[in-house]
Amino acid sequence: MGKNKLRKFAEMDRLECVFQYPFSVLRAEGFPLKGRWHEYFKNDNPIVLELGCGKGEYTVGLARTTPEKNFIGIDIKGARMWSGARQVAAEGLANAAFLRTSIELLPEFFAPGEVSEIWITFPDPQMRKASKRLTGTRFLEMYRHVLTPGGTVHLKTDSPFLSTYTREMLRANGITPEFDITDLYASPLQSHVPPIRTHYEQQWLDRGLTIKYIRFVLPPLPALIEPDVEIEPDTYRSYSRGELQMPELMSQTTND
């Protein structure tokens, strides 16, 4: 492991906004804030998760623009979220935190109904394995466990495959999306989506590709089913995640 990663991991251990629990400790002792996250935030505001938060640029942007909600960025890669966590600490954002864990362990960290919204921003479309797609029924059942009744799921993606899959999954389960936008920045409905663009997102826009946005509410029952459809795969490769590009909202920056 490089010295830079070791330095980041050491700093992460000192940041109060970061929670890291080894699986062995989690199983033996449980997570002390499960069902009690409002004690950490010191308010009763809604709790919103960003799954696969990467460097945390969307989590930080949401926290800045929506102070009436609490935001938790979740990712397994600690070296990535270090950047966002350091911004939160430097700016004193009391409504943002980061949790280093696998998304599959969400029920270990959040009580039923503790979460009001979930953001899924530019995930790997996982074109070969439906069980790994973050809008697949396996994960949606998990979200349904931690979401409050009427809780919202947001998907923002560059992938035609994943947006089509998600749309077909909703249709197969009789779920009508609140928004289903195939070209977000050409849509008059874009004002309903926070004005946050990551560097990763801007790269797709610079190539002339479109951003898709789907928002929906999961019903409490019945059990969800996978769509039985063939979907054309994406033909391009993904970029790695980068810095937030939001000059009108990013008055402060952090040097690496």
Using alpha carbons, list the distances in angstroms from residue 75 to 103, 161, 232.
7, 23, 28
Which of 76, 81, 50, 78 has the alpha carbon at shortest distance from 63?
50
Query: E strands along 68-131, which residues?
Result: 70-75, 96-100, 115-121
Distance CA 181, CA 16 (A): 37
Find out whether 218 and 113 touch, Cβ atoms under 8 Å. Answer: no
Distance CA 123, CA 53 (A): 9
Give the DSSP H/E element, type plus range, for residue 153.
Answer: strand 147-157
Q: Is 13 a catalytic residue?
A: no
Catalytic residue from among 124, 180, 228, 256: 124
Which of 244, 203, 253 has the alpha carbon at shortest distance from 55?
244
Whether residue 22 is preceded by a cis peptide bond, meaning omega within 30 degrees of 0, is: no
Pairing between β-strand 70-75 and β-strand 47-51 as defined by DSSP bridges: parallel
* Coil, helix or strand at residue 27: helix
Which residues are marked as active site?
Answer: 124
